Protein backbone atom coordinates (compact mmCIF):
# COMPACT_ATOMS: atom_id res chain seq x y z
CA UNK A 1 0.00 0.00 0.00
CA UNK A 2 2.87 2.41 0.80
CA UNK A 3 4.42 1.69 -2.59
CA UNK A 4 1.07 2.24 -4.33
CA UNK A 5 0.75 5.66 -2.70
CA UNK A 6 4.30 6.52 -3.77
CA UNK A 7 3.40 5.54 -7.35
CA UNK A 8 0.57 8.09 -7.07
CA UNK A 9 3.06 10.53 -5.53
CA UNK A 10 1.21 13.60 -6.76
CA UNK A 11 -1.72 12.49 -4.57
CA UNK A 12 -1.63 15.76 -2.70
CA UNK A 13 -2.46 17.83 -5.77
CA UNK A 14 -4.69 15.25 -7.48
CA UNK A 15 -6.63 13.45 -4.77
CA UNK A 16 -9.34 12.10 -7.07
CA UNK A 17 -7.48 8.83 -7.75
CA UNK A 18 -7.01 7.71 -4.17
CA UNK A 19 -9.85 5.26 -3.62
CA UNK A 20 -8.72 2.80 -0.99
CA UNK A 21 -5.22 4.27 -0.60
CA UNK A 22 -5.93 6.72 2.23
CA UNK A 23 -7.95 6.54 5.43
CA UNK A 24 -11.16 8.56 5.16
CA UNK A 25 -9.86 11.18 7.63
CA UNK A 26 -6.56 11.67 5.76
CA UNK A 27 -8.35 11.90 2.39
CA UNK A 28 -10.84 14.37 3.88
CA UNK A 29 -8.04 16.57 5.27
CA UNK A 30 -6.32 16.68 1.86
CA UNK A 31 -9.52 17.46 -0.04
CA UNK A 32 -10.60 20.11 2.49
CA UNK A 33 -7.25 21.91 2.30
CA UNK A 34 -7.31 21.80 -1.51
CA UNK A 35 -10.86 23.20 -1.58
CA UNK A 36 -9.75 26.09 0.67
CA UNK A 37 -6.75 26.75 -1.53
CA UNK A 38 -8.85 26.76 -4.70
CA UNK A 39 -11.44 29.03 -3.10
CA UNK A 40 -8.80 31.47 -1.85
CA UNK A 41 -6.72 31.22 -5.02
CA UNK A 42 -3.55 30.11 -3.28
CA UNK A 43 -1.48 26.98 -3.32
CA UNK A 44 -1.52 25.59 0.19
CA UNK A 45 1.73 23.61 0.01
CA UNK A 46 4.97 24.74 -1.48
CA UNK A 47 6.96 21.67 -0.54
CA UNK A 48 6.80 18.04 -1.57
CA UNK A 49 5.01 15.99 1.12
CA UNK A 50 7.40 13.09 0.45
CA UNK A 51 10.65 15.00 0.90
CA UNK A 52 9.51 18.11 2.79
CA UNK A 53 11.68 20.04 0.31
CA UNK A 54 10.75 22.78 -2.13
CA UNK A 55 13.36 21.76 -4.68
CA UNK A 56 14.75 18.48 -5.90
CA UNK A 57 13.38 15.13 -6.94
CA UNK A 58 13.64 11.61 -5.62
CA UNK A 59 16.37 9.86 -7.59
CA UNK A 60 16.09 6.19 -8.43
CA UNK A 61 13.79 3.73 -6.73
CA UNK A 62 13.09 4.26 -3.04
CA UNK A 63 13.41 1.39 -0.56
CA UNK A 64 10.46 0.46 1.68
CA UNK A 65 11.04 -1.18 5.08
CA UNK A 66 8.48 -2.30 7.65
CA UNK A 67 9.44 -0.55 10.90
CA UNK A 68 6.67 -1.62 13.25
CA UNK A 69 3.55 -3.75 13.18
CA UNK A 70 2.85 -7.15 11.74
CA UNK A 71 0.14 -9.38 10.36
CA UNK A 72 -2.05 -9.01 13.47
CA UNK A 73 -1.42 -5.29 13.99
CA UNK A 74 -3.99 -2.57 13.40
CA UNK A 75 -1.31 0.07 12.73
CA UNK A 76 1.88 -0.23 10.65
CA UNK A 77 4.80 2.07 10.11
CA UNK A 78 6.77 1.80 6.89
CA UNK A 79 9.96 3.75 6.25
CA UNK A 80 10.75 4.91 2.74
CA UNK A 81 14.45 5.66 2.17
CA UNK A 82 15.38 7.66 -0.91
CA UNK A 83 18.05 9.90 -2.44
CA UNK A 84 17.05 13.52 -3.04
CA UNK A 85 18.69 14.96 -6.15
CA UNK A 86 19.14 18.72 -6.03
CA UNK A 87 19.98 20.77 -9.07
CA UNK A 88 23.73 21.25 -9.32
CA UNK A 89 24.51 19.41 -6.07
CA UNK A 90 25.18 15.87 -4.98
CA UNK A 91 22.13 13.85 -3.97
CA UNK A 92 21.48 13.40 -0.27
CA UNK A 93 19.71 10.63 1.63
CA UNK A 94 16.21 11.16 2.98
CA UNK A 95 13.56 9.22 4.85
CA UNK A 96 9.80 9.55 5.20
CA UNK A 97 7.63 7.45 7.50
CA UNK A 98 4.33 6.19 6.17
CA UNK A 99 1.72 5.30 8.76
CA UNK A 100 -1.00 2.82 7.79
CA UNK A 101 -4.16 1.70 9.56
CA UNK A 102 -6.10 -1.49 9.00
CA UNK A 103 -9.57 -0.66 7.74
CA UNK A 104 -12.74 -2.50 8.70
CA UNK A 105 -12.49 -4.64 5.57
CA UNK A 106 -9.00 -5.82 6.60
CA UNK A 107 -7.20 -3.76 3.96
CA UNK A 108 -4.51 -1.22 4.81
CA UNK A 109 -4.82 2.51 4.14
CA UNK A 110 -2.29 5.31 4.59
CA UNK A 111 -3.17 7.55 7.55
CA UNK A 112 -0.19 9.94 7.58
CA UNK A 113 3.20 10.86 6.15
CA UNK A 114 5.86 11.91 8.64
CA UNK A 115 8.48 14.10 6.98
CA UNK A 116 12.23 13.77 7.44
CA UNK A 117 11.90 16.64 9.95
CA UNK A 118 9.28 14.72 11.96
CA UNK A 119 6.32 16.81 10.80
CA UNK A 120 2.98 15.06 10.39
CA UNK A 121 1.27 15.88 7.09
CA UNK A 122 -2.11 14.97 8.59
CA UNK A 123 -1.55 17.36 11.52
CA UNK A 124 -0.51 20.20 9.21
CA UNK A 125 -3.53 19.63 6.98
CA UNK A 126 -5.87 19.40 9.95
CA UNK A 127 -4.76 22.75 11.37
CA UNK A 128 -7.32 25.40 10.56
CA UNK A 129 -5.73 27.94 8.24
CA UNK A 130 -5.87 31.51 9.48
Question: Domains of the chain: which residue ranges?
Answer: 2-126
Tell whether domain 2-126 is in CATH 3.10.450. yes
Of the chain, the percentage scoring pLDDT greater than 70 comes to: 67
Query: pLDDT of 12-66, one tens digit each?
Result: 555 556 667 889 898 888 888 777 666 666 555 556 666 666 667 777 888 999 9
What confidence category does residue 79 fall into, taking pLDDT thresholds of 50, 70 and 90?
very high
Q: What is the pLDDT at residue 41?
A: 62
Q: What is the pLDDT at residue 102?
A: 92
Q: Contacts for 96-101 with beta carbons within 8 Å, 24 or more apart?
A: 96/50, 96/51, 96/52, 97/67, 98/2, 98/5, 99/75, 100/1, 100/2, 100/69, 100/75, 100/76, 101/23, 101/74, 101/75, 101/76
111, pLDDT greater than 90: yes
* Between 98 and 129, residue with greater pLDDT: 98
Q: What is the pLDDT at residue 100?
A: 93
Q: What is the pLDDT at residue 130?
A: 47
* Between 14 and 123, residue with greater pLDDT: 123
pTM comes to 0.74
Amino acid sequence: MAQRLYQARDFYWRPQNLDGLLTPSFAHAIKTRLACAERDGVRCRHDDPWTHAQDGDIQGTPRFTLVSGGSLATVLEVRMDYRLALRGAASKPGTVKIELQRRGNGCWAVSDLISPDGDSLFARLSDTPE
